[in-house]
Structure formats: C-alpha cells, structure tokens
Chain A
C-alpha cells in the first residue's frame, strides 16, 4: 500500500501534467499562429512583390566574376595577367539549326576550323543551356557587324570574358603554372570545400604551379547582381548589386630575367635548375627544361598540341625541379663528409692511400674510383676537391648506413622541402628497413658504400639539392623555400610579405663546416673538378660536381660516352653557392645525359651567378626579352 501522501502526490502530479499539457497546447497554437501570420504576410500582403519577381519579370541572380590577381616577379614584371575580350557564344539549346547558324556566322566573321573544333569539344563538356565559346578576341568591326544581324541569330550572344595571358610564354611555365577550364573533378572539390558558389560565373581555375597553389588568394570573391529579366531572357533592370572583390596580386621572389638567363644557358638541353637565396629561402630561379607555352592550356589545349607535349620523349610537361628524381652522385659527398667529421671520423690529418678502388674486408669485389689509377694520398679536403670515391667508400662503411642517412636528412634529403607548389616528390634516402619493406631483401654492406657516393638507391630532386646547398651555405639553418615573396591585398593595396620560416636547424661544429666549405671552394680552383667555373670570377664559388649513372657499367668495363646512346649517357650535376664568404645565392642543377658535371653543368651555374651577383648578361644572349615591365598589359585597364 502506498502511503496517503504519495497517493496525494500522484494525484497532484497528474493534475500538474494536465496543466502543463494545456500550456503546451497553447504554446503550439501560438506557434502555428506565427506560421500562419508569416504565410499570410508572404502570400497576401507581399504577394504583388513576389508575384512580380517570379512571374512577369523573372528575377535572375547574375554572378560577377572577380578579376584574378596578377603574378609579378620580384621586380614587378608581369608574369600572368587577365584581360577582357569580346567573345561570341552560342547556347545550343536555344538554336534551332546549329549547323546552319554556324555557317551563317562564318559569313559574318572569320571562324577558323580550330575555333569550330574547340566549340564542339567545349559543347560536349557543357550543358545545353550554357553559352559555349565560339570565337574570342572579336574586334570592334566584327562585334558591330554581328550586332546589326543579331535578330537572325537567337541563342547567339556577344559577351565579355576575362582571359588569362602569360606574356613570357614558356619562360618559367613550370613555376607559374596555368589556369584551365573548371572540370567535373574541380567542381566536386569546390563543392566539398564549400567554395562552389564563389566560382559561379568563373570558367577557370588554377591547375598547376603558383596558379594552383595560391588559387584562393588569386581568385577573389564573386560579386552578385540581381537583375530583372524579360521574357526574351535579356536583363531589363539591375535591382541590387554587390561588387566582386578582385583576387590578390602575388609578388614572386623569382627574378624573371635571372630565370631567362638560366633557361637560355641550358641551350636546348634537358634538365632542371633551382637557385635559392640561402638566408631567407627565396627561390630566385626555378628552371625545368624543356618548357611549354602555358597559354595553350588556358582555353583548353587542342589535341595536336597536347599529343606533341604529352608524348614527347623530352617530357616538357614534367616539373623536373620537383618531380625529377635523380641519384645525386658526387654532389652528395659534402654532406656525407660533414656527417663523417661530426662523428669524429676522418678528422685531419687523417689520410688514405688511394689505389683506385676499395674492397670490403673479406670480399674481393672492387668498388672502383672514377679515376682508374687512384688519387694517391687523399685527406678529407682533397677527397672533396678531386671527388675521390675510394675515400668516401671507406668513410661510408665506417659510418654505417643509419648514422649517415640520419645526419644528411637534416639537410632535407628524403623529405619534401615544403615549397609553395603542389606535387613535390620526396626523393629517397635508403635504409635497411626501407629495403626490407620495398624488396623483402636484406641490406648488403656494399650498398652502404654506394650510398656514400650518392648512387644506388639514393634519389633527390633538384629542389632538394638546392635546399641542401642553401642549408650548408646558411650554416645549418634550413629556411622553407618559397616562390611567393609577398601578397598584395587587392583592396588596400598593402603588401604583406610571406613570413619566413625556419624548418630545421643542424648544429655543426664550425671547424668541420669550415673544412667542407674550404674544400668546396677548392673545387673551383686549380686542381678541382670545376676549375672553369671559378676562373676569372671576382667572387669565391664553393661548389661540388656530380655525375650520376643512367645505366650500370659492368665490373671491369669502361665508361665511354662516345659509344653510348645519348639518352643513356650520365647526368651532369652541379651544386654551388656564392660569394663563398657571405653567400647570397645557392644553385643546384642537373643536365640530363650531360656527361660530366664540371664541364656541362658548371658553366650554367656560373652564368646564373654572374647575372645575379654582377648583373652580367652572358654574351651569347645579349637581349633578354623579359626585361620590360609593360604597363599596358595590366588587367585593370580593360580595352
């Protein structure tokens, strides 16, 4: 039995519940009352307003695409800009007889077979009710002639579009990148990022290079116009308008004239070059040869050009500085040398007697030096200067693969440098664990020796080599390399420098660093492997040559360049920084199948450093084309 009081409570609670339920009913009634009032407001009081919007004059929201930011080099030379053009566009859904319309348009103005091909291709990619580009760059006369005949062409309209132009063409194409038409994949990504609305009315998006990496800054914010549209689909009246916010301008650290000097220095050979300012990580030149004309991609590249670029054995579309991975060869040696010195190995006056080969204890396989007869008595300094393989075989063996790779990793090998372009590769610093994972095979002692001279599995990108050289030049402080030096806000016009970032800091005994640097300076002095690079230079060049094998040479066989197919010749590598006392430029480059590093690659580096440090233009390229900043190409002055 429940006590009386609980029974009373129960009664009271039931009563309370009913009161509450009643209150809830009143609350719900009030809620529906509010909805009813709002509905009546919309449908009765405001009816005329909305009726007008929806029925007699359909309202249309017209996006106004923002103008894309400029890309400028460090001296203000325009590398990418946008401009308005009159274009002729056809909306297939509104054209009754497309073939006839196209034919009649061809009588009014010139429409090339290329234009037609592009039109049909774009048409396949677009909706039927979207305007499809038929002709761009209409001149005044053509525009006027069409305007007079417009009544004959329903569904054909003249519009002004923004086009992107890269005035220097192939120069620096891999770093600037290009924009291209927004494809389904881009749409999906934009939708996922919640940015799709900001791209309405915009046909293009950054696809590679700076154009892609800084897409968000370059693009800006789309504006919007509410317009009334009459039955013919023509805008009658602008109701409200929010102006677009233009994209920000990018000021690169690259000097396009230096870039040109570097690209020309390659003289048609394949390869890559990266020049960095060691103290702040600014990339001064970023070369990938051969290059391509990015303007081809802006409105969709045609099949022939695409085939030519894509199927060329020279692979012009590959971004070599970031995606070309090569064995670093002897350019790896200064870093291994430093690893040895730091570990207390090979400290002077330690020296070896080099007979031209090295054998592991208990084996008779000969690890050969590049110089068959050997270098005689070799200490650390000489080992770098003459690039003595035998010396480094012994050092690598004594160091062991683990400590060696652990040390050089601090110089950026085996990891991304973090440069502001997408797609960078990591290269490879092989370790026994890696080999077990990759090949399910144990690590052989001989492989450690090969890593010690930068061959075998070791792979690095030209970007990584430049970064490693810059770190060495900057006394162990690794700055994040970057191509964009500053961003200019489109609204305020203020220039925001990109903050510098220290990504790693290697502590090295100054005595050891000094030894390696002195030896690298010797490389460009008489007796070194790149004497010609230092000859006559008013500044000191610290450098290291390198050669990396493309095909294996059998035991006992000799490498003879003349007998080998050109594409199987060795790659020529070169790293350098200057002036040696207070470096302001670090360079790394590779000439594919170029043979010897000192002879082929070294002179290119010299030209780059001469231009950067002395302002000296090489004699064979007296008139650089990229030296003028042309104010007429500024996108803010539409024609």
Chain B
C-alpha cells in the first residue's frame, strides 16, 4: 500500500536525471559548508531551499506538457506586464531596479521570464509547425527582444544575456537559417561599438577589467585575480575539503555565491573540476536525450532550450571564475548559495521530466 503511493508519487520523476541532480546538490552542500566558513546554519538554510525546489520540480514533472503549452501565452504576457511594472514601480537596490513589491511579497519578474520566454517561443513555433517561414523568426525575434530589452534597462546584464540566450536557442533549434545566423553575427560585430555606448558605466568597466584585471586590482579585478590564485593553487588533486587557504583566509570575495567554483577548484583540484564537468555533462546529455525523444515540437524545442540554457549558466559562471569571461552576476547552477535561481532551474528540470514522462513509447 505504502509502496504503491510512493510509486505513484515518484512516477513522474526520471530516475536517471533525478539521481544526477541529487548527487550534484549533495556536492553543493559539501562545498557550501566549506565556502561559508563551516557555518552549519547557512548549509541547513540552503538544504531547506533545495527541498522546496525539489517539491516545485515534482509539481512541474506532474504537469502534462499540453497544459504547459496552453499556459505559454498567458505566462509570457504576465511576465512582460510584471517587467513593465518593475520599470515603473520597482524597488531600487544597488542602483538596479529588479524587484517588484506586491505588498505581500517581493518578486523578481526576470526569474519568471527565464521559463516563460522559451515556453512562449516554443509555443509560437509549434503553432507554426510545418508552415514555418522566415517571417516567423522575425516575430520570434520581437517576442524575444521585448523582455530582454526591459531587463537590460533594469539594468541586469547577466540575466538579460541568459534570457536572450534561452530564446535564441529555441529559434536555433527551430531551424533559424545558417545564412541568417552568419549575417546576424556580422551585424552584431558591426553594432558592437554602438552597443558599447549603450552599456552602463559599471558594465563597461567590467568588460575592460576582464581583459586586464590588473587595471583594478582592488575593485572588480580583485575577484578575478584572487579566484585565479585559488584555482591555480588547487593543482591536480586540490588542497582538500576545508583546506583551501585562499577560501578560508577571506581572500575570496562572494565565495559562497558567484565565485563558489573557485572554492571548489581550490579544495578539489583538477580532479574535482573534471568530476563536476562530468556531472554537468551527464545532466546535459540526459536532457538532450529527453529533448530528442520529445513527442511534440513544443516539447522538443522547450526541452532543448532548457538544456542549452543550463549549459550556458555553467559555462558562463565557470568561465568567469577562470578569468576567460567577464564578471557578470551569474551563479553556478545547482551549486551556488541562493534559492531563487535554484527554484527556476528545478522548474526547468521538472519540465524536462514532464516531457520525458510524456514521450512516445515507439520511436518514429
């Protein structure tokens, strides 16, 4: 009896993906314990958030993709509306307007967009299935530009890049022509000086310092220099858990959030790094397999985009810690301290599982 209930409750979970996620989250708690200066309160706070996020994942895994498809347009519209609300009435924190105070709770509508935008675009392409033309990509581009522009204005460069990427992935997977892609890349290169002009001062400074961290060794460049020392001194096998001198001696800033990978790399070395990349690789592989077997165009596009977005988070964060990408505020997925991005990620994985549960049993 108990077993039956348990079985039904667990049925929407893809055991393989679930296993990989739980393994990564466990690792995350270990690293966090070290990064937070062995502060158990912080670890248990994050564990609570993980449990909550798993619950949310379960909810989405239970939701049939067809329902998600129906919700795509309303969610997108709601998201845009909230973003406009933020632009007009949002709270300002650290010079950026990102939060909306609804009286009962404060929400960050850009988080909603991370899911709603790929859903919307997948919905749109699914609707145009089999009659897809170039004009549809133009429409998609507008649907994409609207929220990205609003978030860029907040200003939140990191999030707008990530959301823009997730939408772009849908378009790419839907068959955006190569010629157009190359054309866009060239146009982008041509527009770069103009965009440079539009960036906020602090964003420009970040990019300048990326190419030369020594320019600001006490300010923004400090992160990059100290993270480099932490990683490099980790060596092949690492200094061992809780043994990272850089991490434990307060040299590393933001070491439990955006720069947690530096702690990981210092204490577990190249071996640990490879292990983490493998874990992420398997998660991506499993996600791609699910996307491949998706039974409708909507499911395939959405699942594919979610997998690529997960990859992008991991790549951008690690690239930033390793000093090959600019310091944009992107956390390391599943590992960094914080609940908001975790919940959003797990919603994505919930959707993947839902797609998985709904797959065709016979391959076509």
Contact = CB atoms under 8 A, between A and B. Distances in A.
Interface of A: 2, 6-7, 9-10, 13-14, 16-18, 20-21, 24-25, 28-29, 31-32, 34-36, 38-40, 42-44, 46-47, 49-51, 53-55, 58-59, 61, 63, 192, 194, 197-198, 200, 222, 224, 226, 240, 242
A439 B130 CA distance: 75
Interface in B184-238: 202, 214, 216-219, 222, 228-236
Contacts of B291: 21
Interface stretch (B7-15, B16-24, B72-80, B265-273): B265-273
B207 to A, nearest CB: 16
A20 B231 contact: no
Contacts of B269: 43
Given A13-B175, A13-B297, A50 B232 contact: yes
Contact of B173 (A21, A51, A222, A242): A21
A43 B304 contact: no
B318 interface: yes
Contact of A51 (B217, B222, B235, B318): B235
Contacts of B81: none
A88 to B, nearest CB: 26
A37 to B, nearest CB: 10
Contacts of A222: 218
Contacts of A42: 228, 231-232, 265, 322
Contacts of B114: none
Contact of B172 (A20, A50, A53): A20
B288 A21 contact: yes
B139 interface: no
Q: Which of B129, B175, B235, B291 has the most CB of A within 10 A?
A: B235
A97 to B, nearest CB: 26
25 contacts: A2-B130, A9-B130, A10-B129, A14-B300, A20-B172, A20-B175, A21-B300, A24-B304, A29-B281, A31-B315, A36-B273, A36-B274, A38-B324, A39-B274, A39-B322, A42-B228, A42-B231, A42-B232, A47-B233, A47-B235, A51-B235, A53-B229, A61-B222, A198-B218, A224-B218
Nearest to A7: B130
Contact of B297 (A17, A24, A31): A17
A194 B292 CA distance: 47
Contacts of A61: 217-218, 222
Nearest to A49: B232
A28 B281 CA distance: 9
A63 B132 CA distance: 60
A17 B175 contact: yes
A43 B173 contact: no
B216 A197 contact: yes
A40 B311 CA distance: 20
A39 B236 CA distance: 10
Contact of B233 (A31, A34, A35, A53): A53
Contacts of B292: 18, 21
Contacts of B274: 36, 39
B277 A43 contact: no
Contact of A32 (B217, B265, B315): B315
A549 B34 CA distance: 71
Nearest to B125: A13
A10 B130 contact: yes
Contact of B322 (A7, A38, A47, A58): A38
Contacts, number: 146
B284 interface: yes
Contacts of A51: 232-233, 235
A49 B214 CA distance: 17
Nearest to B221: A197
Q: Which of A42, A192, A242 has the most CB of B within 10 A?
A: A42
Nearest to A45: B232
A44 B175 contact: no
B261 to A, nearest CB: 10
Given A43-B236, A53-B229, A222-B218, A35 B308 contact: no
Contacts of A198: 218-219
Nearest to A63: B218
B245 interface: yes
Interface string B66-102: 0000000000000000000000000000110000000
Given A21-B291, A54-B245, A61-B217, 9 more contacts: A7-B130, A14-B300, A17-B300, A36-B273, A42-B228, A47-B235, A49-B232, A51-B233, A200-B218
A1 to B, nearest CB: 13
Contacts of B307: 24
Interface in B236-259: 236, 245-246
B229 A17 contact: no
B327 interface: no
Contacts of B324: 34, 38
B169 interface: yes
Nearest to B94: A192
A32 B277 contact: yes
Nearest to B294: A17
Q: Which of A21, A226, A240 has the most CB of B within 10 A?
A: A21
Contact of A16 (B175, B218, B364): B175
Given A35-B322, A43-B236, A61-B217, A20 B173 contact: yes
Contacts of A29: 281
Contacts of B304: 17, 20-21, 24
A53 B285 CA distance: 38
Given A10-B129, A50-B232, A224-B218, A43 B270 contact: yes
B183 interface: no
Interface string B286-325: 0010011000010011001001100100010011001010
Given A24-B172, A24-B173, A39-B322, A32 B280 contact: yes
A301 B301 CA distance: 69
Contact of B229 (A34, A36, A39, A54): A54
B318 A35 contact: yes
A197 B273 contact: no
Nearest to B274: A36
B217 A35 contact: no
